[in-house]
């Protein structure tokens, strides 16, 4: 029986801490941290994410500035708005909800956001800073996972960690963070011939594949830590992760459920990055 790593409870604890730190921040500097969230178009899933980000800002005491732009917004118009927000003193974090409509080049958008306000940590400057281990912001999902590992006192030094998935947002920065936590890190991906051979040896398995039932019980070592980043729908339309939970839970020492594991941590980490940004701005 694995210990369940409760993302909801951990997230609530971090948010309470951020709310307290925000009170202190406001007393000291006389203003609140501010997060600008831009959404282009009407993707329903993105609208829910944006709403939740706004709610999180209210919960911890930040100002939130929402820009819901029509689908036909041009890249030029979006870049102009980003430029204005880059020099707006009330705004400490800027986020453009992904995916954007196809006529907008997301790479260009990521480059346009000032690295000091890039609370997603997508700008190459911030990506590079993560690489050298000297960073202010970490992308929200990997940050949420390290927060959970710390919360549950998981020893990482000298442990073997397998990250499944090599995306820019999760897999790659996750691997780098685990390297900074002194793990021996392996990254598996779609061209890895035998993922199970690698995961069977791992002390920590982090799956960010996006395929239901990808990580099965026989792929996991007894006593492993299993982190499930997946957000999939199974054949019945039910939300599930990448991990066959019932099988892995019997062998793992720690496991994150879906829902209620990594998911609740991500927006909270965005809040953490935003306060960090405001603090750096205030202390400049
Ligand atoms: N869409 C889904 N997740 C994210 C995220 O973490 N940041 C941004 N900007 N867009 C997203």
- Residue with CA at minimum distance from ligand 1 atom 11: 98
Q: Is 38 in the pocket of ligand 1 (CB under 6 A)?
A: no
Per-residue pLDDT of the chain (284 residues; tens, 9 = 90+): 899 999 999 999 999 999 999 999 999 999 999 999 999 999 999 999 999 999 999 999 999 999 999 999 999 999 999 999 999 999 999 999 999 999 999 999 999 999 999 999 999 999 999 999 999 999 999 999 999 999 999 999 999 999 999 999 999 999 999 999 999 999 999 999 999 999 999 999 999 999 999 999 999 999 999 999 999 998 899 999 999 999 999 999 999 999 999 999 999 999 999 999 999 999 98
With a 6 Å cutoff on the Cβ, whether 227 touches ligand 1 is no
Residue 120: CB within 6 Å of ligand 1?
Answer: yes
- Is 119 near ligand 1, meaning CB less than 6 Å away? no
How far, in Å, are 13, 37, 79, 199, 260 from residue 55 at the CA level? 16, 12, 26, 38, 18
SS3 assignment, position 40: strand
Among the atoms of ligand 1, which is closest to the Cα of residue 169? 6
Locate the ligand 1 atom nearest the alpha carbon of residue 46 and give its number: 1
Ligand 1 center from residue 105 Cα (angstroms) = 15
How far does the centroid of ligand 1 lie from the alpha carbon of residue 98, in Å?
5
Q: Which atom of ligand 1 is nearest to the CA of 96?
A: 9
Q: Is any ligand 1 atom within 6 A of the Cβ of residue 95?
A: yes
User: Ligand 1 mean position to 140 CA, how many Å?
Assistant: 8
The overall longest dimension of the chain from CA atoms, in Å, is: 56
What SS3 string covers 249-266?
HHHCCEECCCCCCCHHHH
Q: What is the pLDDT of residue 235?
A: 87
Please give the sequence-ordered ranges of beta strands (E in DSSP) within the chain, or none if there are none.
3-4, 34-40, 63-69, 93-96, 160-164, 184-188, 204-207, 225-228, 232-233, 239-240, 254-255
- Rounded CA-CA distance 35/281 in Å is 13
- The set of catalytic residues is 53, 97, 120
Which residues have a Cβ under 8 Å from the Cβ of 236 and sit 6 or more positions away?
none
Q: Is any atom of ligand 1 closer than 6 Å to the C-beta of 138?
A: no
Q: Evaluate: CB of 98 within 6 angstroms of ligand 1.
A: yes
- Pinpoint the alpha helices (H) of 152-262: 171-180, 195-199, 245-251
Gap from CA of 223 to ligand 1 centroid (Å):
32
CA 135 – CA 178 distance, rounded (Å): 14
Cβ of 52 below 6 Å from ligand 1: no
Which residues does 279 contact at the CB level (< 8 Å), separation at least 6? Answer: 25
Task: Output the CA 250–ligand 1 centroid distance in Å.
Answer: 32
Cα 62 to ligand 1 centre (Å): 19
């Amino acid at each position: 029986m694995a210990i369940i790593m409760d993302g909801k409870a951990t997230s609530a604890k971090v948010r309470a801490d951020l709310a307290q730190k925000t009170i202190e921040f406001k007393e000291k500097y006389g203003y609140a941290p501010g997060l600008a969230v831009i959404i282009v178009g009407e993707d329903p899933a993105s609208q829910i994410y944006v709403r939740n980000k706004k709610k999180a800002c209210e919960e911890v005491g930040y100002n939130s500035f929402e820009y819901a732009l029509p689908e036909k917004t041009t890249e030029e118009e979006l870049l102009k708005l980003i430029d204005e927000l880059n020099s707006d003193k009330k705004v400490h974090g800027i986020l453009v909800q992904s995916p954007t409509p196809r006529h907008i080049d997301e790479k260009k958008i990521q480059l346009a956001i000032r690295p000091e306000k890039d609370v997603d940590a997508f700008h190459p400057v911030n990506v590079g800073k993560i690489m050298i281990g000297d960073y202010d912001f970490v992308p929200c999902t990997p940050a949420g996972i390290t927060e959970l590992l710390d919360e549950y006192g998981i020893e990482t030094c000298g442990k073997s960690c397998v990250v499944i998935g090599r995306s820019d947002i999760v897999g790659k920065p996750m691997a780098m963070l685990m390297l900074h936590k002194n793990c021996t890190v392996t990254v598996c991906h779609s061209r890895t011939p035998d993922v199970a051979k690698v995961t069977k040896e791992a002390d920590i398995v982090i799956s960010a594949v996006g395929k239901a039932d990808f990580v099965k019980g026989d792929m996991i070592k007894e006593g492993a830590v299993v982190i499930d980043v997946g957000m999939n729908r199974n054949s019945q339309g039910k939300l599930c992760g990448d991990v066959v939970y019932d099988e892995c839970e019997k062998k793992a020492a720690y496991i994150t459920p879906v829902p209620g594991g990594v998911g609740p941590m991500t927006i909270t980490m965005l809040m953490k990055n935003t306060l960090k940004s405001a603090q750096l701005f205030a202390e400049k």
